[in-house]
Amino acid sequence: MKRITCISTKTKKLLISTFVVGSALLAGATMTAAQEIDSDALDNETSDLGDYPEPFIEEDELNSVIVVGEDVQNTDIESSMLIHESLKAAGNESEQNPIQENRYNHFGLINNDYSEDDLPDTVITENEYQGEDNVILIGGPEANVITADLAQENLTMVSEDYEEGQATIQLIPEVFNDEYHALVVAGETAEDTQIAAQVLTDYEDFEDEMIGSQQLIIDTEEEEVIGTDDPEEEINEDED
């Protein structure tokens, strides 16, 4: 299986950062991992999730590819198609985003049988990605070899850092060829990953958590953000 080797030389200059988790630390049940992030990338104009869906769309056009694993599961195909359709809708502000109208049956995508033949042109497998586009990675190191490469470079979580019932959305700026951004959408299981994809689809609802953060931790049972890597961010639990 071909492995991507075009990781930015800038990533060799790393800044250690640790997830700072709000209320989830009190609950004692979050994914926590020391992360190494390119310090130069922090100065990039699009250096946190608050800018999403940019740079993955630009001037109302898709400006990215979505990458799934070579041995992709049906659930990961669903996740990729959710994000694909969401970006298309975000690129056309004159259209109401139908994904947000019916989160559990987006375009009839959920609980259907799919194959790679159903993937749009902007959704490709890991062996097709050459580091020449912004990329949204579906799945963690066990599901996606490019995510595994980034984990090996200490740029995202290794498999052991994922916990049951949780998922992550992580922006890694300018990681490929000193130019292209990666967005990791991954969970302990494919079902957890799909919840992260749904959160990303509903990005406007999570604007407060995304601004200033490069990473979100998601409780996939409650479908809520329980932690970020932004030390200024405080996650408040809903009052009973």
Which pLDDT tens digit goes with each residue over 154-171? 999 999 999 999 999 999
- H or E, element range at 218: strand 215-219
Structure-token match 């004692």, residue found: 28
In sequence order, what are the residues at sequence separation of 6 or more whose Cβ sits closer than 8 angstroms to the Cβ of residue 222? none
Least confident residue range of 16-20, 96-100, 141-145:
16-20
Retrieve residue 114's tokens: 């799919």
Retrieve residue 217's tokens: 């931790």
More confident residue, 115 or 184: 184
The pLDDT assigned to 144 comes to: 97
More confident residue, 39 or 159: 159
What is the reported pTM?
0.75
The pLDDT assigned to 76 comes to: 93
pLDDT digit string (tens) for 106-132?
334 444 555 556 677 889 999 999 999
Contact (CB, 8 A) for 8 and 175:
yes
Contact (CB, 8 A) for 130 and 175:
no
Q: Is the pLDDT of residue 211 over 80?
A: yes
Least confident residue range of 44-48, 160-164, 215-219:
44-48
Best CA proximity match to 169, nearest among 133, 135, 142, 193: 193
Domain ranges of the chain: 9-228
* Topology adopted by domain 9-228: Chitobiase; domain 2 (3.30.379)
C-alpha 100/C-alpha 80 separation (Å) is: 16
| Mean pLDDT confidence for 73-97 | 81
Q: Please give the mean pLDDT across all residues of the chain.
A: 76
Retrieve residue 179's tokens: 């130019």
The pLDDT assigned to 106 comes to: 39
Q: What is the DSSP letter of 214?
A: S
C-alpha 115/C-alpha 101 separation (Å) is: 26
What type of residue is 80? Answer: S
The pLDDT assigned to 237 comes to: 47
The pLDDT assigned to 169 comes to: 98
Q: Is the pLDDT of residue 233 over 50?
A: yes
Most confident by average pLDDT, 69-83, 85-99, 167-181: 167-181
Burial annotation 213-229 (CB, 10 A radius, 16+ → b, else e): bbbbbbbbeeebbbbbb
Strands (DSSP E) contained in 87-152 are 123-125, 134-138
Q: Could you give the C-alpha distances from 182 to 101, 103, 178, 213, 238, in angstroms and in order?
A: 28, 25, 11, 14, 32
C-alpha 102/C-alpha 206 separation (Å) is: 17
